[in-house]
Amino acid sequence: MRHRVAHRKLGRVTEHRISMLRNQATALLRYEHLTTTVPKAKELRPFVERIITVAKRGLAGRRAATATC
């Protein structure tokens, strides 16, 4: 059973998965589109939305968002 399991593993270890999502988020924000698989896109969406929300909070937020990507 998958009760209370938060994210997909995407067949990768944690460090690889986080760096892949970071790279995809950077590419998405820079080029405004991305070609990827549906499960990766579904995992990427909350990651990017969090970055955008932080970036809306003035200059300090933009700097924090840039550090995250």
Judged on CB neighbours under 10 Å (0-12, 13-18, 19+), 25 is: buried
Cβ atoms of 34 and 27 closer than 8 Å: yes
Q: pLDDT tens digits, residue range 19-45?
A: 999 999 999 999 999 999 999 999 999
pTM of the prediction? 0.82
**Amino acid sitting at position 26:** T
Whole-number pLDDT of residue 5: 85
Domains and CATH numbers, the chain: 14-68 (3.90.1030.10)
Whether pLDDT at 10 is above 90: no
